[in-house]
Structures are given as C-alpha cells and as structure tokens.
Structure 1
Amino acid sequence: MIMEQKVIDYLKENRERHLKELTEFLAIPSVSALSEHNEDTERAAEWVKGQLDEIGFTEAKVMPSDGKPVVYGNYIQDENAPTVLIYGHYDVQPVDPVELWDSPPFEATVRDNKLYARGATDDKGQVFMHLKVMEAILKSEAASPVNFKVLIEGEEEIGSPTLPAFAEKHQDLLQADLIVVSDSALIEKGKPTITYGLRGLAGIQIDVKGAKGDLHSGEYGGGVMNPVHALVKILDSFKDEYNRVTVDGFYDQVPELSQEERDALAAVPFDEEKLRKELDVPEFEGENGYSYTERTSVRPTLEVNGIYGGFQGEGIKTVLPSKASAKVTCRLVPDQDPDKIVELLTEHVENNAPSSVTVEVTPFDKGKPYVTPFDHPVIATAAKAYEKVYKEETAYIRGGGSIPIVAELDRILGVPVVLMGFGLPDENLHAPNEHLHLENFDLGMETLAHYYHMLKDVEMK
C-alpha cells in the first residue's frame, strides 16, 4: 500500500465526523467587516488553534496583531524535509441580504451534495480540508513526508491590512520552502486548475455633502445641488463609451498582453453562452478589444460596489438629501501600484466633482497584484497531484480576484506560492447561498494528500 493510501482511507473513514466539525466551524459568524462580530472572530481563531492541538502540532497558538488575532502552528519532524506554510483565513463576508438565503447562513445545510453556509468555500471549508489532511497524515503514518507550518488570519475579507506587518515581524517563525493557499477555484467542475496570478485591489469611498441637512425638494429643488445627482456625475466620469477607465494615468503601468499569453488564455475551456445563461444577463459587456476571459483576469477594472443616499424606505419622501456616498474598487494587474491608483482616483474625483458640493475621498482595501512562474517545480508537482486524482490535465490561469496578502508573503518570505483551489466559480462566494461541492471536498483532500507526499522528492533550491 502506498503511504498516502493510508491517509486517504483515514479521510474516508472519518468523513462524517469531519463534516460535523466543519459545521461547527461554519456556525461561528466571524465577519471581519463588522465590529459587532469581534468576539466571533476571536472565537473562530481559538477554534482553529484547538484543531491544531487535537491534530498533534508541536506548537499552536493564537497570536495578537494590530487587528484580528492570527493563528500560528507548526509540526517540525525532520529538518531535512521540505517545510510547507499553509495560509488561509477564518473570517467571512457579511451575509446581507439575508432574506435571499434559502437556509440560515450560519447553519450548514447539505442539499444536492453541496454544503451551504457562509464561509463554506471562502475560505473556512478549504482551510478545514488542509486541517483534516494534516490530521490524517499525523494520525495514520509513522512519519510525515513534510514539515507543516500554519498561518490562518482573520482579516482577509477586509484586505489583510495588518498581516504584512505581522509577517515582517515574525519572518523567522514563518520561514518555509513554499506557501500553499487554497482560496481559489477550479475553472469548471472536474477540471483541475492552478492559479498562477492574482489581480491586486485598490478601493475608495466617495462621500458627497450638500446642505447641512435634508431639504424639502419642493422648496429647494432646482436651486440647491442634490448630492445624489453630483455623485452620479462623478461616477459616470470614470468610464468612456468603450468601457475604458478614464482616470488619467490609470493604464500607465499596464503592459500589453503578448500574443503568447492571449493564445494561452484563449485555450482555457470556457463556454461564454452557458455562463451568460447561468448569470441570466442579456449579454456581456466590458472593455473593447478584449475577450471575456481577458477582461476578468488580466485587465484592470473599476467597479462601483455600492451607492446610497436619500430616502430608502417604502413609498416616497420628497427630500433633497444632504449626503450621498459610493464605494468603488479597482482590480489591478502587474505593475499597477495600489497606492498610486488610489492617488489617481482621488485626483479624478476632485477634478470631476461639482463645485456646489463638498467631496471627501477615503481609501480602503489595497493589495498588490501577484504573478509567479507556473513552471516552478512545486507548481508542476501540484499539477501532477491534481491530475492523479481528477484524471484531467491541469489548467493554468490568472485569477480575476484578489488575495492581497499573497503578494506580500511572496515579497516578505521570498518563496513560491502555490494556489491550489477546490472551489467552483458558481459557489456564490460573497453572495447569498454560498456553498461548497462536497465532491471537491473529498477529491481536494485526496489531492492534497498526494501533493504533500510528492513534495518530499522535489528539489526545493
């Protein structure tokens, strides 16, 4: 019997217990964006630490940071064996609008072999898979093929603002031969996928203020600038009729795509019409001159994520609101710098704001883009592990989303980052009815078991 078969058998024998434990993890409403859930984020951190203790880690602790607590653990058995640092996050997105959920977001429910709950795929479910594979290795084998370190944070969903400083401070503690992250997805069901690049992120909030208070729209309308109208003018100025961002300097650091990369992206399996029907939109729209795949992975974007102002209740209230606000985020590609983009966005807002209102721009979420060579031995080995289980050739893609800390860990620790995701694009991460296909829960853990065993024969230097 091959060594990893013992691990796979252990996972199968303990599957029901593992799913029950995952349900407990998912029940913790660890929403990092809302201060009312601060105690829940602390509880989630302690839960992960407890898991590491039960698994048999040499060291496991909840460590303070300048923000949410960080969970660190290690199991070092052989100094000559490769050391894997597993990164993930225990925090989750808010659940609003809660009325659109078919089952309570923090009560995990299985339907059609899918596990529904907030955090099921992003990222508690995928973090949990690593925990259980490590448990299976340490419980069923005399010696682990690799050394393990774990870094699980609680602020990824708000841009990991304090983790870079934590990682800088604890570089020695976190040193490893590679970093493994499972916080991404397969491109489609049954198709193993390695994400070798991620877009960066830059976000701002725009607050427009008019009069000192709401005004009667009959008495003052037409004579005083409506902040909602002013905000709409500002937002409309961000793009031209070809969906190209009009912020001066926005594209200055964006290299043109090579024909080789465009050909590689075109070769990735993708049914545009199927996706259009699934999303229930009349047609796709985006930057002219680029395919849907290019627009959503290797081109920068600017999107309005929220807009509010004035009366929101049932019926109508004839007021001229005193304030209006919007949240805007940009997805960035190499070599765009998020700090510079925020500066350019701020200048653009100020230059396009009507003089009859006052405008304030507040920066938030920032993260750098990340790209790694996909022919690195640890990435090539990950592809072999996928293919051993899924029986399909691995696709290499650049992800449209952002995991800001990935680029920071790459910079701080200087080791390759392997993005091995087991979600699917249609699992509603960040939306109501988030779920994880249990097929990938099982196949993903089997893939990780093979990967950790294969790594012991990989030349790391």
Structure 2
Amino acid sequence: MKRIVLLTCMFLTHFFATTQSTQVNTYIQANQKRIIGELMNFLKIPNHAKDAGNIQMNAEFIFKDMERRGISNVQLLYPASKRINPAVYGEYLVPDATTTLVFYAHYDGQPVSPEKWHASLEPFKPVILNGKVETGAKTITLDEIDTKRYPDARIYARSSSDDKSGVMAILNAFSALQSAGITPGINIKFFFEGEEEAGSPHLEEILSAHTALLKSDAWIICDGPVHQSGRNQLVFGVRGDVNMEITVYGPTRPLHSGHYGNWAPNPGLLLVKLLASMKDENGFVTIKDFYNDVLKLTDKEKQALAKIPPIDSMLMKELGFIRPEMKNIGLSEALNLPSLNINGIESGKSGTSAANVIPVSASAVLDLRLVKGVDWKQQQERVVQHIRDQGFFITEQEPDMQMRSTYPLIAKVRLEKGYNAQKTDMQLPVMQKIILGLQKTSQTEWLLQPGLGGSLPLYVFEKVLNVYPVTLPIANHDNNQHAENENILISRFLEGISIMANLMILSSDK
C-alpha cells in the first residue's frame, strides 16, 4: 500500500510539473516577440563597467522593469564607499516556503573595439540575423522570428550572451509564472550586479552591508555557456583569475635595425624567450610549484566528468586547429587545472605601420586561471620568481639610467588584484534538490560539471554569506563573449527562460 501511495505521489508530482512546464512554454511562445524586443532595448544601453553614466541607466532600466513585473522591495544596493555600479535587488516571498534561492546575473559588459566587429554590426545596435554573421547570414525582423524556420537565428550585440540575456531570462521566467497563475514553490530573490566584468571589486562590500536581506539557501548564477555538445549543464565551481603585466627593455630610443641589429638588445626577442620558458613542449607550465596546491577531484566529481560527452574533435574542427596545447589532455580535464595564458603582446609596430627599428620595450599581459586550493597572490609570486630566475631584475617602476647601467635584464612587473576559485559540494541537500528539480523538466540527463572554465568571484558568497552558489548557463557555446560579434542564439535564450521558471516551480519543499 505504501508503495502505491509513493508511486501515486511521484506520478502526480511529475504530472503537475509537466503541466506547469507546458503553461510556461505556452507563455514564452505567445510572447516571444515582446520578450526578444525587451532584450534588444536593454542591449542598446552601453554597459562598460567604468562608464558610470550608462551603468546607472542600465540599473534604472532593470529597476523599472522589475517594478513593472510586480516584484517586491526593489532597490539599488550601492557600495558604502562610493555611489557607483549598484546591484539591483528585488524579491518575491512565498508564505510557508522554507527554501530561498537568489537568482543572479550581471548587467555590465566587456569594453568594445567597434572596428573589430563585422562591417554590418555595431556593438550597441542589436540586430537579429538568421544565422552566423561569418556565413553571410541575413538580417530578419522581430515579425519574422520563427525558431523552427530559423533555428540558428541570433541577436548580435555586446552583452547579448554575457550577461544581459541572463538578466532577462530570470525576469521573464518570473513573469511566465505570474501570467500562468503559478505560485513559485520557493522564496525568490533577485540580484543583478554591475561590476562583474571589472572583477567585482565592490561585491563583497555590498554583500557585507546586506547580509540579512540576502539570507538564502543557495545562489543560482546565470552566466556562461551550455556545454559545447549542446547539452544543458549545471556547474558547481569556477576558476579564480588574476592578471599581471610584464615589460622588458631594450635601448632608450628606437634604433635603426641595420645600424644596430645584432648589437643592441631587442626587447621583443627577450620577451618571447622569457614567455617561452614558462611552458614546455606539452603545454604544461614549467614555473616551480605551479600545480602544487591543486585539490584532487572527489569520486563524485570524477563520476560526473566521466559522463561529459567528448567534444574535442568537433571543437578543433570548428576552431581550425588539429593539435591541442596540452598533449593527451582533453578539454574537460584541462579546465580543472590552473592555466597561464598570454592575453596579448606588444612591441614596436606591425602591419602597414611596421618600421625597421629595434623597439625600446616589449610588454605582455598574462592571465592566470586558478583552481580550488591555489591562491592568486602566491601564484603571481611564483611567476615573478620564475622571471627572476631567468636573470631579470624586477622593478615596479620605469627603469632609470642608473638601473639600466646596473642590470643587463630588467622586467617591470605590474600585479593586478585577483580572486580565488570556488567549488560547491554536489552532495549538499539543496544542490540535490536543484538537480532533481531541473532533471524533472528534461528528457535528456543534465551534465554536472565540477567546474567552469571561466571565472567569477563566487568565493565571496561563501565567505560573506556562508552560502553556496551553483552556475546555470543558458548561452550557446559559440557566443563570442568578451570579443567582437558577441551573440545569443534566440532558441537558447527562450529555453533559458523556461529553465529558470521551472527551477522556481520545482525547488519546492512545501
């Protein structure tokens, strides 16, 4: 008898979940033109984190939109130290609900280089194309939107995928429930940040000032792409990140390469030799102790990784190379290791501006991605010590003539602030509830990723609020985030709304 009752309860739970999912999807389908239009209007507002005026306009856009949707207690949360880049907060509290989730996305974006975008595109003039711009896709209007006819239709604009689509997916998910008369099964809190792309320098300050307001059981971080296979994924960790800039020096003025070549030291050559010394032929970092503090994956994490579909061959074909940097290491495994990346190198001129000279200096920016256990300050110091071990004198200032006459090799090193990796235990009860809730709405098994390749300052939530975040991406993997021609696949955006809505329904414990 107990078994019959249990099976009946399971059937009814699935039935109601399926019915509510259908109602949500019906709302999205009926309102997709308006929903997409709202996102495009949002994308028109420039959102570089250091552009205070436009950042404020973005925050006010979200503020008014949340009030319009019937969200309660909407307010701007500013850092106590300065009135810039507010987080936008709101809530919807359900009587007797005992689970509270905070839904997070960020509204600021990376800086843009308009000249690098396709000639038909402008970063803050969003357009819809019926496919990829690189393949000659054509512009279509909102009235022509049909994801069955145009399954590859995309919106092109800065922050279309990272992360304004996340903001609008969360808000439209709430509206879908309201329109269908579905009461969320949890308390919902909304938190939209305005400094994520700048490294979230004031996030800890904002969280610390509002710990009571932000009390919850978990944070749902809507950011990043779905798995490259196209499968949805839930991500339980992110890598930390820190940058540093290295400048090495040659002569005090540019020299004619014919008159002084083979004699005056060339800083470009000095720099590339220094950088080359940091990795071996198999792609592993040679800097002493670089991998020492990496925490091993748990058995549960290894089991989850084993279920990740192999996509290396597909991706290499798509991206145009046949040999990965790390020999015999697949992408999923590589993302669980700390990395050292050269963001850019600059010395002299190239292209039509090239001249036959020995330049005065050469610079490179390094991007260090960190995994759990590795401290960002210590990792920077390991790199600095490696530079020192290669015979360079380290300075924080431009070298004067006395310094130049004392040391044959000089490197100015500028260290930026960073943050450490964060990881959430998959076995936590609230995480199991989230996994179960998401799985009930899908016929395909969700992928559970121990960590995301990208970086977010998620350690702050654990440090300040004693709560754990989990990342729920919705963007397509080929979205060009942080680069020219950023885009969001419209079908992914609409599915993201459905996913967020179903999570608001199904994480109930009433």
TM over 0.5, yes or no? Answer: yes
In the alignment, the residues of structure 1 paired with residue 26 and residue 330 of structure 2 have an alpha-carbon distance, to the nearest angstrom, of 44
- 5+ residue gaps, structure 1: none
CA contact (8 A) 1:106 1:118 kept: yes
Note the C-alpha offset of 1:118. 1.7
Q: Counterpart of 1:346?
A: 384
Q: Counterpart of 2:53?
A: 39
In the alignment, the residues of structure 1 paired with residue 177 and residue 300 of structure 2 have an alpha-carbon distance, to the nearest angstrom, of 41
Q: Counterpart of 1:217?
A: 257
Among 452, 462, 487, the residue aligned to 1:435: 487
Q: Counterpart of 1:376?
A: 428
Q: Does 1:93 align with 2:110?
A: yes
**Secondary structure of the corresponding residue to residue 477 of structure 2:** coil
In the alignment, the residues of structure 2 paired with residue 410 and residue 138 of structure 1 have an alpha-carbon distance, to the nearest angstrom, of 31
CA distance 1:358–1:399, change in 2 (3 Å): same
Q: Counterpart of 2:349?
A: 311
CA distance 1:457–1:263, change in 2 (3 Å): closer
Amino acid at match of 2:34: R
Q: Counterpart of 1:292?
A: 331
Among 56, 65, 72, the residue aligned to 1:51: 65
In the alignment, the residues of structure 1 paired with residue 391 and residue 242 of structure 2 have an alpha-carbon distance, to the nearest angstrom, of 20
Amino acid at match of 2:329: Y
Q: Counterpart of 1:70?
A: 86
Q: Counterpart of 2:74?
A: 60
CA contact (8 A) 2:282 2:325 kept: no
Deviation per CA, 1:439-460, whole angstroms, max 9, x where unpaired? 22222211221211112227xx
Bigger shift: 49-58 or 275-284?
Answer: 49-58
Among 29, 36, 40, the residue aligned to 1:19: 36
Alignment of 1:42-441 (within 5 A): 42-65=56-79, 68-78=84-94, 80-81=96-97, 82-96=99-113, 98-101=115-118, 103-110=121-128, 111=130, 112-141=152-181, 143-188=183-228, 190-256=230-296, 261-262=301-302, 264-286=304-326, 288=327, 290-295=329-334, 297-352=335-390, 354=392, 355-364=407-416, 366-441=418-493
TM-score by length of 2: 0.82
**Secondary structure of the corresponding residue to residue 281 of structure 1:** coil
In the alignment, the residues of structure 1 paired with residue 187 and residue 65 of structure 2 have an alpha-carbon distance, to the nearest angstrom, of 17
CA contact (8 A) 2:301 2:450 kept: no
In the alignment, the residues of structure 1 paired with residue 115 and residue 299 of structure 2 have an alpha-carbon distance, to the nearest angstrom, of 45
CA contact (8 A) 1:26 1:117 kept: yes
Note the C-alpha offset of 1:278. 0.4
CA contact (8 A) 1:193 1:396 kept: yes
CA contact (8 A) 1:385 1:447 kept: no
Amino acid at match of 1:245: V
CA contact (8 A) 1:225 1:356 kept: no
Note the C-alpha offset of 1:219. 3.7
Deviation per CA, 1:218-246, whole angstroms, max 9, x where unpaired? 34433332222221122112112232212
In the alignment, the residues of structure 2 paired with residue 90 and residue 48 of structure 1 have an alpha-carbon distance, to the nearest angstrom, of 9
CA contact (8 A) 2:222 2:471 kept: yes
CA distance 1:159–1:46, change in 2 (3 Å): same
In the alignment, the residues of structure 1 paired with residue 350 and residue 22 of structure 2 have an alpha-carbon distance, to the nearest angstrom, of 58
Amino acid at match of 1:292: L
Structure number with greater Rg is 2
Note the C-alpha offset of 1:389. 3.8
Q: Counterpart of 2:404?
A: none
Among 449, 457, 461, the residue aligned to 2:509: 457
CA distance 1:76–1:438, change in 2 (3 Å): closer
Amino acid at match of 1:75: E
Identity %: 29
CA contact (8 A) 1:85 1:178 kept: yes
Note the C-alpha offset of 1:182. 1.0
**Secondary structure of the corresponding residue to residue 457 of structure 1:** coil
Deviation per CA, 1:39-79, whole angstroms, max 9, x where unpaired? 22222122112211212222223333357412232224346
In the alignment, the residues of structure 2 paired with residue 381 and residue 326 of structure 1 have an alpha-carbon distance, to the nearest angstrom, of 45
Note the C-alpha offset of 1:7. 4.2
TM-score by length of 1: 0.90
In the alignment, the residues of structure 2 paired with residue 410 and residue 451 of structure 1 have an alpha-carbon distance, to the nearest angstrom, of 22
- How many residue pairs match? The answer is 453
Note the C-alpha offset of 1:396. 0.8
